[in-house]
Amino acid sequence: MTLLPPTAAQQKRMDKELPSDPEMRKQDVRALREWLSKQPHLPNCMDNDKLERFLYGCKNSIERCKLILERYYSVRTSLPEFFAVRDPLSRDIQDCVDNIDYFVLPSLTEEGYRVTILRMRETDPDKFSLQAICRRVLMVLDIRLMEESCLSNIMVIDLKGCSAAHFAKFSPTHSIVRRAMLAVQDSMPFRLFSVHYLHAPSFITNIINVFYPFLKEKLIEKFHIHNGGGEELHAYMDKDILPNEWGGKAGTFRELNAAWREKIEKNRDWFLREEKLSRIDEKARLPESKPSCLVMELEGIQGSFRKLNID
């Protein structure tokens, strides 16, 4: 699966919203590299291309980038259930790929946004694993960090086949759900433009209300709730970039899901190696370097998850 680069028109729009200065970008990357060299608790194995993508995702803010880098490594150390044993050939990941369609569309929107789709293929609640889904989502995000930069992201979640039994599995009252939220939010330099829920059940408002105390109001405003299917997206983006079943030309659900299975499997060596490298050594942290707030969040001290990286 190839993530197509921006067209000339898309790149022009992206540059208008986030102007590009190649020379300044190089200077900023050097500054980040120098900062990393003075943080003995952090790994310094990230190549310059990936650092550039981090910087771009942080709107070229060096200070914001430092915060996200700290958190990027912190979650890998503190949340092993999502970052340890990330073997694409493991049974849980293979089962997740069989049961859940999760893929990134090849083409960007006209604005330069990347669209990701998640939908169930297997509706048996007993085969629904939040831990496996979260682990797979983070693996896909890591691959994207190796390959591309995009201006922002659109998430499409098709709820067809979801029942109350499924929703019960990811109530924020469950520890695994809160830890999953910590694993995903603010640990990656990706911005979120909007979230579309398709085939929303009648009780979707009740579900959102349960999560409301943990989410920024600005994020809630980006939710789009639809009773219908993929055709609802045509008013928001060029339908040609969508899967065939939704009136597009990107390929079928099965083809797109299979392409991303192959993609993560091709990166198996990287995942197995990265698992050992991307860890924080708290014993080496300098006194003047403040610990990540992640530890306090895990202990429930801050008690809030209002940290989603949104535009």
Domain count, the chain: 1
Alpha-carbon distances of 48 from 34, 195, 303, rounded to whole Å? 12, 31, 35
Residue 163's pLDDT is 84
Task: Return the percent helix, strand and coil in the chain, to nearest 5.
Answer: 50, 10, 40
Query: Within a domain: residue 306?
Result: no
Its pTM stands at 0.89
pLDDT confidence tier of residue 301, bands split at 50, 70 and 90: very low
pLDDT in tens, 80-93: 889 888 999 999 99
CATH number of residue 221's parent domain: 3.40.525.10
What token pair was written down for 25?
């970008």
Answer whether residue 305 is part of any domain: no
Q: Are 182 and 81 in contact (CB under 8 A)?
A: no
DSSP labels, 112-132: SEEEEEEEES---GGG--HHH
pLDDT, mean of residues 210-224: 75
Q: Is residue 258 part of a domain?
A: yes
- Residues with Cβ within 8 Å of 179's Cβ and at least 6 positions away in sequence, in order, are 79, 81, 82, 298
Determine the pLDDT at residue 309: 47
Closest of 140, 77, 66 to residue 277, by C-alpha:
77
What percentage of residues in the chain have a pLDDT greater than 70? Answer: 90
Q: Is residue 140 part of a domain?
A: yes
| 1 inside domain | no
Q: Which residue carries 């079928």 as its tokens? A: 252
| Structure confidence at residue 310 as a pLDDT band (50, 70, 90) | very low
pLDDT tier for residue 187 given thresholds of 50, 70 and 90: confident
Pick from 23-27, 33-37, 67-71, 208-212: least confident: 208-212
For the chain, give the percent of residues with pLDDT over 90. Answer: 59
pLDDT in the model for residue 141:
95
Average pLDDT over residues 210-216: 69
Write out the residue range of the structural domain in which residue 197 sits.
9-282
Instruction: Classify residue 308: in a domain, yes or no.
Output: no
Quick: pLDDT tens for 254-276. 999 999 999 999 999 999 998 88
The helix or strand, by DSSP H or E, that contains position 50, with its residue range, turns out to be helix 48-57
Res. 46: pLDDT tops 60 = yes
Q: Higher confidence at residue 203 or residue 155?
A: 155
User: Which pLDDT band holds residue 293 (cuts at 50, 70, 90)?
Assistant: low
Query: How many Å apart are CA 251 and CA 255, to the nearest integer?
Result: 6
Local confidence band at 306 (pLDDT 50, 70, 90 cut-offs): very low
Length of the chain: 311
User: Does residue 307 form part of some domain?
Assistant: no
**Mean pLDDT computed over every residue of the chain:** 87
- Asked whether the predicted pLDDT for residue 99 surpasses 70, the reply is yes
The answer as to whether 32 is a domain residue is: yes
**Helices vs strands, H then E, count in the chain:** 14, 5
